[in-house]
Amino acid sequence: MSKWRNSIVLILLIMILPGCWDMEFIKDARLIYATGFDLLPGGQFKLTVTIRDSIETGGGTEQHNTIMESVARTTRENRDLMQSMVSGKLSVYKIRVHLLGESVAKKNIFPFMDVLYRDPKSALNARVCVVEGNANELLRLNKVGVTYIGETVDEMISGEEQMTVVPKENLGSIAPVMWDHGQDFTLPMVKKTAKNVKVTGTALFHGHHMTGKLNRQESTLMLLMAGRKADTARLTIPVDQKQNPQVANFITFDVNKAKPKMKVTVKPGNRIDVDFPMKLTVSAVEYPLGELSQKAVVQKLNKQLSAILTARSQQVIQKLQRANCDVFGIGRHLIAFHHDTWKQLHWKTDYRKVRFHPRVQVEIIGSGILN
């Protein structure tokens, strides 16, 4: 008897337990891969998405990319509008990359992104980048070579992250910074060329809007100073002018280790000094002039590179200060350890008055398999 009862209960449970309210069939889902945000000249808001479909054919699966766009008042409204134009259910949980058009980035970006943070299904690990120009035009490329545009951008940024050219950020990681008064975030910046896309550097933000740019080399230096070196970091620096061909004037090196040591001191009158020594141990990967076996040459190079990089980091800091972008979190440091000073400061204007003293010290310790 008991066996019968148990089996009936079991069957009933199996019928009840799976539920059928929150089912989402992957076969019905239209997965959005990339989204682009643009403000049109009239102030209207255009959202562009690329949808990835896999269609089962006899021989396997076939990939398709659909590009859709709509104009509406909010992000969510745009999504709903798009839903009315496609079959299947638009799904946001596989979005890999969000592209912010420059028009959006320079405004307050948060209103556009609120839904991305509020929706429990949204993927907070999606990359975010700024498009120089128009995100819609870039996504309209559809394919670069054999790769669909969404993947292209995503993989490109991922590659450049590993080269320490652009900061490694995603929706989740910029949120705490965006809401903190004491620091600012930066985002990778891409640009559409004729039929291609390239990563041009880093977009600087202050609070919720974009205020400046760094090119690729400046960006790498900034990341090194922020202690955010990824797998590799490579710099090419001119060390001579007289050689012919021009190529021989340069040294290219990989940074093995970057040790920035930031020290913030507050002096009376709320004068803030940031002592910023950074030690770089590097290995040359390209140096046509050779001679790296001689100690004297290496030492001279060390000195020269240190001077050049110190000057460059000064320029980078100037750009950051002009953009009011507190990447190094000086404000955060003040909040945490000099709270009384912080309360008297007006960081928006006082950040520019901070005196940085960068001092880069380069040491060549490797030269590949040549001397």
Partner 1 sequence: MIKESSRITQGQLFFYMIQAQVGIGIMSLPHDVHAVAKGGAWISILIGGVVVQLAILVMWALCKRFPNLTMFEYLPKIFGKWIGGFFNFAYIIFFILMATLVLVLFESLINKWVFPLTPRWAVLALIVMTSVYLVIESLRTITRFYVFVSVLIVLIVLIALNAFTIADFTYMFPITEAGWGKIFLGSNKVIVSLLGFEMLLVVYPFVEGKADGKLKAASAGNAFTTLLYSFLVFIALIVFSPMEMAMIPEPIPYMLKAFSFRVVERLDLLFLSIWTVIVATSYMNYLFLAANGFGHYFHRGNHRTAVYYTAIISYILALIPQSPDGIEFLTQIVSWASYAFVYGLPVLFLLISLVFRKREKGKTA
Q: Look at residue 113 and give its three-state secondary structure.
A: helix
User: Distance of CA 185 to CAs 100, 177, 227, 309, Å?
Assistant: 15, 6, 14, 23
- The answer to the question of residue 58 lying near partner 1 (CB under 8 A) is no
Residue from 128, 130, 177, 305 in contact with partner 1 (CB under 8 A): 177
Task: Sketch the per residue contact string, 290 through 329, with partner 1: x for CB under 8 A, - otherwise.
Answer: ---------------------------------------x
- The answer to the question of residue 207 lying near partner 1 (CB under 8 A) is no
- The answer to the question of residue 179 lying near partner 1 (CB under 8 A) is yes
Residue from 58, 59, 120, 145 in contact with partner 1 (CB under 8 A): 120
Residue from 4, 14, 21, 43 in contact with partner 1 (CB under 8 A): 21
- The answer to the question of residue 107 lying near partner 1 (CB under 8 A) is no
Q: Between 250 and 347, name the residue whose CB sits nearer to partner 1.
A: 347
Cα 276 to Cα 274: distance, rounded to the nearest angstrom? 6
Could you tell me where the DSSP H helices lie in the chain?
2-16, 75-83, 102-105, 110-118, 135-139, 149-162, 171-178, 216-225, 295-322, 330-337, 339-344, 347-350
Cα 356 to Cα 311: distance, rounded to the nearest angstrom? 12
Kindly indicate which of the ranges 165-173, 213-221, 266-274, 296-304 contains the residues binding partner 1, using the contact rule CB under 8 A.
165-173
Cα 180 to Cα 171: distance, rounded to the nearest angstrom? 15
Count of positions on this chain that bind partner 1 (CB under 8 A): 28
Task: Sketch the per residue contact string, 336 through 355, with partner 1: x for CB under 8 A, - otherwise.
Answer: xx-x----------------
Least Å from the CB of residue 293 to partner 1: 41
- The torsion angle over the Cα atoms of residues 154, 158, 161 and 165, rounded to 10 degrees, is -60
User: Distance of CA 259 to CAs 86, 103, 161, 172, 281, Å?
Assistant: 52, 37, 19, 26, 9
Q: Between 63 and 179, name the residue whose CB sits nearer to partner 1.
A: 179
Cβ atoms within 10 Å of 285's Cβ, excluding its own: 15
Q: Look at residue 350 and give its three-state secondary structure.
A: helix
Crossing angle for the helix pair 216-225 and 295-322, to the nearest 10 degrees: 100
Residue from 124, 307, 311, 370 in contact with partner 1 (CB under 8 A): 124
- The answer to the question of residue 51 lying near partner 1 (CB under 8 A) is no
- The answer to the question of residue 11 lying near partner 1 (CB under 8 A) is no
Residue from 333, 345, 351, 358 in contact with partner 1 (CB under 8 A): 333
Residue from 31, 49, 141, 171 in contact with partner 1 (CB under 8 A): 171
User: Distance of CA 175 to CAs 48, 144, 172, 180, Å?
Assistant: 23, 31, 6, 9
Q: Between 51 and 330, name the residue whose CB sits nearer to partner 1.
A: 330
**Residue numbers of the site for partner 1 (CB under 8 A)?**
16-17, 19, 21-22, 93, 120, 123-125, 170-173, 175-181, 329, 332-333, 335-337, 339
